[in-house]
Amino acid sequence: MEWIIDSDRPIYKQLVEQIELRIISGMYAPGDKIKSVRELAMEAGVNPNTMQKALAELERMGLVFAQRTSGRFITEDNKMIEEAKNTLAIKEIDSFFEKMKQLGFEKEEIISLIEKAEGDRNGNSKS
């Protein structure tokens, strides 16, 4: 997965989101050792202090933990990973509903459009 950094939000928050996504998608498995701050910073093209701040936030969230002499690891708490996944999904759904309401759609219309789009994706058009 490529690092995507834009200039409209704090970089460390974008790094947190991208690493979190890698964790909840399974790209980083529970218990995996993650690369050093310097390696990750170089990969992402950011300052090591910025990456350190992002990793500290992920530690605060409980998705990453540090072992003093061994480095940082992905949590082995599958429940915590699942909760992070659900929280992110709800955040995305809320954002989607808000945008659809701004377009003038009511809840029932949005659900109908979702069902139609899902049917179209599966080749069973519900027109």
Contacts made by residues 54-62, CB under 8 angstroms, sequence distance 24+? 54/12, 54/13, 54/15, 54/16, 54/19, 55/19, 57/12, 57/16, 58/16, 58/19, 58/20, 61/16, 61/20
Average pLDDT rounded to a whole number, residues 26-43? 96
Average pLDDT rounded to a whole number, residues 40-53? 96
List the domain boundaries for the chain: 11-76, 79-121
Q: Say which range, 5-9, 18-22, 71-75, 118-122, has the weakest mean pLDDT.
A: 118-122
What band does 125 get if pLDDT is binned at 50, 70 and 90?
low
End-to-end Cα distance, the chain = 37
Do 68 and 76 contact (CB within 8 A), yes or no?
A: no
Instruction: Decide which of 2.60.120.10, 1.10.10.60, 1.10.10.10, 3.40.50.300 is the CATH code for 11-76.
Output: 1.10.10.10
User: What's the pLDDT tens digit per position in 85-112?
Assistant: 999 999 999 999 999 999 999 999 999 9
Which phi and psi (to 5°) does residue 72 adopt? -110, 150
pLDDT for res 127: 47
